[in-house]
Amino acid sequence: MVDYSIDELQPHIGHEVVCVQHGDPGDPDTVTVECHDCDEVLIEARSDRLENA
């Protein structure tokens, strides 16, 4: 688990934060945690498949 600073996440308190997958639904390229209110990606996890490409 990666630590994020208070300053990065505090602005999004009370916002609609969603987890979204991108690419193939059964084997997504990336999964992101995004703030819907700010339209900003907070956390991005990339598939091992991309890292090894």
The interface mask with Zn ion, positions 24-43, x = CB under 5 A, is -----------x-xx-----
- Closer Cβ to Zn ion, 43 or 47, answer by number: 43
Is the sign of the CA dihedral 44, 3, 40, 36 positive or negative? positive
- Closer Cβ to Zn ion, 18 or 50, answer by number: 18
Distance CA 24, CA 46 (A): 13
Distance CA 17, CA 20 (A): 10
- Closer Cβ to Zn ion, 13 or 53, answer by number: 13
**Residue numbers of the site for Zn ion (CB under 5 A)?**
12, 15, 35, 37-38
